[in-house]
Structure 1
Amino acid sequence: MALIEVKFPGGARVDAHMKGHVIATDQPTYAGGEDSASAPFDLFLASIATCAGFYALSFCEHKGISTEGLSLSMDTVKNPETKMIEKVNLNLVLPKDFPEKYTDAIKRSMDLCVVKKHLFNPPEFEINAH
């Protein structure tokens, strides 16, 4: 169980304290914040990209493949009516000497991302107020 304590340091900033770390968030200026940190939804998107990136990195390290030149970018497509993201594109750039025989395998490895898996089997949410 991960306990996250949320603090409100002022303005639109909301900080999460978890496992000895502070994850600072803020809202963009157009939403009433100072844009001093990433917005919570941006962190959610970054968690998808960094999780997939971790699995790609781990795959290369496990196979003894150099990660020089390995990079990952992610872009999203929003539904114009719902304003919700309907597609996530993960774009992996492989190292120049990456063995072609492992291309499908590294993509399958990235599919193991636990953040992505939670999107397909979301948890139940319960909100309590005291």
Structure 2
Amino acid sequence: MSVRVSFPGGVVVNAEVAGHVVSTDQSVRHGGTDSAPPPFDLFLASIATCAGFYALRFCQKRNIDTQGLGVSLDAIRDPERKRVERVVIQVELPPEFPDKYRKAIVHAMDLCAVKRHILEPPEFEIEVATPAAQVNNQPEVEQRIQLL
């Protein structure tokens, strides 16, 4: 998978992935126009929507009515470290949801690929490509910085 980033103006940053464009912006307080969510909010939203997808598919595969199904995510921040210290995902079950599946739907949501990648993170590398090589669509790496 590849993501291409562009900068259409201001502090808006767009990401093109699989034929879709995802826009990000910053709040007015941080120099943006608040025209789109900031990247970190999209990161949290991707966790919630991934868990939501697994909950939805769980119900659909068992022909359980999804009317009333909902998922919410709360990110609890550590003000001293200025980072999220805990993420709580809640599933709101439909009124007729069978009790026998309560643990199973939680287990299904726990399989979310986004969450699994956080728990077992990949290596991150930042490479600097030379402009001349970019023209040939063959980036030459001047420098590689490995992030832990």
TM more than 0.5:
yes
State the TM-score, normalizing by the size of structure 1. 0.97
- Where 1:95 maps in the other structure, the secondary structure is coil
- Where 2:21 maps in the other structure, the secondary structure is strand
- Greater shift, 7-16 or 82-91, is seen at 82-91
Partner of residue 121, structure 1: 120
- Where 2:8 maps in the other structure, the secondary structure is strand
Partner of residue 85, structure 1: 84
Q: Structure 2: state its 5+ residue gaps.
A: 130-148
Tell me the CA shift for residue 72 of structure 1. 1.1
Tell me the CA shift for residue 91 of structure 1. 1.2
1:1-130 mapped onto 2 (5 Å cutoff): 2-130=1-129
Counterpart of 1:22, as a letter, is V
Partner of residue 136, structure 2: none
Alignment length (residue pairs): 129
Q: Which runs of 4+ in 1 moved over 4 A?
A: none
Higher relative contact order (CA 8 A, sep 6+): 1
What percentage of aligned pairs have identical amino acids?
54
Larger strand percent: 2
Q: Structure 1: state its 5+ residue gaps.
A: none
